[in-house]
Amino acid sequence: MNNIHVEDAETLGRKGAIFIAGQILARPEGVIGLATGSTPVGVYRELARLYESGWLDFSRLITFNLDEYCGLSGSDENSYRRFMDEHLFDHVNIRKDNTHVPDGMAEDLQAECDRYERLIADAGGIDLQLLGIGHDGHIGFNEPGAHFPAGTHVAELTELTIEANTRFFDRSEQVPRRALTMGIGTIMKARRILLLASGSDKKEILQRALYGPITPEVPASVLQLHPDVTVISGV
For residue 211, the minimal CB distance to ligand F6R (Å) is 19
Strand order across the 153-156 sheet? 67-69, 178-181, 153-156
Closer to ligand F6R by Cβ: residue 38 or 59: 38
41-52 and 9-26 helices cross at what angle (nearest 10)? 50
Q: How far is CA 207 from the centre of its chain?
A: 19
Residue numbers annotated as active site:
67, 136, 138, 143
Q: Please tell me the distance from the alpha carbon of residue 51 to that of residue 87, in angstroms, as a whole number.
A: 13
Closer to ligand F6R by Cβ: residue 62 or 133: 133
Contact between 145 and 216 (Cβ < 8 Å): yes
Closer to ligand F6R by Cβ: residue 60 or 216: 216
For residue 114, the minimal CB distance to ligand F6R (Å) is 20
List the helix and strand counts (H, then E) for the chain. 7, 10
Interacting residues toward ligand F6R by CB under 6 A: 35-39, 66-67, 132-134, 138-140
For residue 54, the minimal CB distance to ligand F6R (Å) is 29
Closer to ligand F6R by Cβ: residue 30 or 132: 132
Contact between 87 and 45 (Cβ < 8 Å): yes
Q: Please tell me the distance from the alpha carbon of residue 21 to that of residue 142, in angstroms, as a whole number.
A: 27
For residue 142, the minimal CB distance to ligand F6R (Å) is 8
